[in-house]
């Protein structure tokens, strides 16, 4: 990474922000308050929605980069989520004492180790997946869909072979169990952790994408990889790096999702892929900021609708996507395409 300390002429206008899209979630939250009626219920629903949104963002952010930069439709992304979750077992067994200790620092350390191990495992798997499965089918969407689904099926069976076919129950670390009560509202502790980690990851990704040469290259590569090459940068290496990073982020999402469910199954990643595809389409393919806003939007709407009109809950995600695409057919934050 290189600092972008370039000469900047003074007194120049700053880039404009897209406030309409940025304010969607705050406006939705404000609009939901009178509809929900009770402040405590609203706090609980909103906190749950934000936490769910952050977990979806963690699982989807890597895919949107891979889709945007490499033009690769990776239906196998879900398996990195599952493997990230299962990789926790490598840690939870040996460090079971840390999970049961009534110590926030130890529990946080355990979560950090789980995340590091899961990201390392999924990054390594991503490297192999890109080399063996993705690379031969660049530029062919149909083959990508077929071959990545095939890769996913193989990887899911491999999970059965390594960890068994039965669901695996895990327990949250002691300090993350239970809820924080604020007045009449209860917010689960683990959701606060999920929100914090989601924000840290989003801030880190935003920093890399907007403040470093690597980030500029990724954003430029999403738009016009040929011109990036003509400027002298090796886009193929960037592809591999982004695929590996995207796989590692899916692994991180798998850890958070696994702890949230407290039951691991080989298909748990694939089960959320519909949601993941919805948020990256809503956000605009290749846009990390769009993925973030789209994740929060989908999760908040699902929670509010589930409370206000339970019968509509099943279709709320599709409705949100249809409305957003009617408003902005390229997604909330469209990335200019070649």
Partner 1 sequence: MSEPILRLEGVETRIGPYHILHGVSFDVPAGELTLLLGRNGAGKTTTLRTIMGLWRASAGRVLFDGRDITALPTPDIARAGLAYVPESMAVFSDLTVRENMVLAARSGPLDSARLDWIFGLFPALRRFWQSRAGVLSGGQKQMLAIARGLAEPRRLLLVDEPTKGLAPAMVRNMVEAFRQVKAAGETILLVEQNFHAASALGDDVAVMDNGTVVHSGPMRALAADAALQQSLLGLSLDQHQ
User: Cβ closer to partner 1: 180 or 227?
Assistant: 227
User: Cβ closer to partner 1: 184 or 226?
Assistant: 226
Rule CB under 8 A: which of 21-50 touch partner 1? none
Q: How far apart are CA 104 and CA 113, in angstroms?
A: 14
Query: 117, 119, 122: which is closest to 76 by C-alpha?
Result: 122
How many CA within 13 A on the CB side of residue 296? 23
Query: 68, 77, 45: which is closest to 253 by C-alpha?
Result: 77
User: Cβ closer to partner 1: 38 or 140?
Assistant: 140
Window of 2-10, 77-85, 110-118, 193-201 that interacts with partner 1 by CB under 8 A: 2-10
User: Quick check: 154 binds partner 1 (CB under 8 A)?
Assistant: no
Query: 126, 143, 91: which is closest to 112 by C-alpha?
Result: 91
Rule CB under 8 A: which of 278-337 touch partner 1? 335-336
User: Quick check: 233 binds partner 1 (CB under 8 A)?
Assistant: yes
Percentage helix, strand, coil for the chain under 3-state DSSP, each rounded to 5: 75, 5, 20
Nearest approach in angstroms of CB 259 to partner 1 is: 35
User: Cβ closer to partner 1: 151 or 289?
Assistant: 289
User: Cβ closer to partner 1: 5 or 93?
Assistant: 5
Give one DSSP letter per residue of 178-218, joined into a string: SEEEETTEEEEHHHHHHHHHHHHHHHHHHHHHHHBHHHHHH
Q: How far apart are the first and last CA of the chain?
A: 25
User: Quick check: 9 binds partner 1 (CB under 8 A)?
Assistant: yes
Window of 11-19, 26-34, 141-149, 160-168 that interacts with partner 1 by CB under 8 A: 11-19
User: Quick check: 12 binds partner 1 (CB under 8 A)?
Assistant: yes
Window of 159-167, 182-190, 223-231, 315-323 that interacts with partner 1 by CB under 8 A: 223-231
What SS3 state is found at 36? Answer: helix
Provide the binding-site residues for partner 1, judged by CB under 8 A: 2, 4-9, 12-15, 213, 216-217, 219-220, 222-224, 226-235, 335-336, 338
């Amino acid at each position: 990474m290189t600092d972008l300390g370039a000469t900047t002429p003074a007194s120049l206008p700053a880039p404009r922000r897209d406030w309409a899209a940025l304010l969607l979630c705050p406006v939705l939250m404000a609009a939901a308050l009178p509809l929900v009626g009770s402040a405590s219920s609203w706090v609980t629903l909103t906190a749950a929605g934000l936490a769910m949104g952050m977990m979806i963002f963690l699982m989807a952010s890597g895919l949107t980069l891979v889709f945007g930069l490499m033009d690769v439709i990776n239906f196998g992304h879900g398996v990195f989520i599952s493997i990230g979750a299962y990789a926790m077992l490598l840690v939870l067994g040996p460090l079971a004492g840390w999970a049961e200790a009534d110590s926030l620092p130890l529990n946080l350390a355990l979560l950090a180790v789980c995340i590091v191990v899961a990201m390392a495992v999924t990054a390594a798997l991503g490297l192999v997946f890109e080399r063996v499965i993705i690379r031969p089918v660049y530029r062919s969407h149909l083959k990508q869909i077929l071959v990545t689904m095939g890769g996913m099926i193989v990887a899911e069976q491999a999970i059965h072979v390594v960890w068994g076919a039965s669901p695996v129950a895990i327990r949250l670390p002691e300090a993350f169990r239970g809820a924080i009560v604020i007045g009449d509202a209860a917010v689960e502790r683990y959701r606060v952790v999920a929100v914090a980690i989601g924000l840290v990851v989003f801030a880190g990704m935003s920093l890399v994408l907007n403040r470093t040469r690597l980030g500029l290259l990724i954003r430029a590569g999403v738009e016009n990889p040929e011109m990036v090459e003509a400027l002298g940068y090796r886009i193929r290496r960037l592809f591999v790096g982004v695929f590996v990073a995207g796989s590692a982020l899916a692994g991180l999402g798998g850890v958070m999702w696994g702890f949230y469910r407290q039951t691991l199954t080989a298909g748990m990643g694939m089960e959320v892929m519909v949601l993941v595809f919805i948020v990256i389409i809503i956000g605009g393919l290749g846009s990390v900021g769009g993925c973030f806003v789209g994740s929060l939007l989908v999760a908040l709407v699902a929670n509010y609708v589930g409370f206000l009109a339970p019968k509509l809950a099943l279709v709320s995600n599709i409705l949100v996507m249809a409305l957003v695409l009617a408003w902005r057919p390229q997604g909330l934050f469209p990335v200019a395409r070649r």
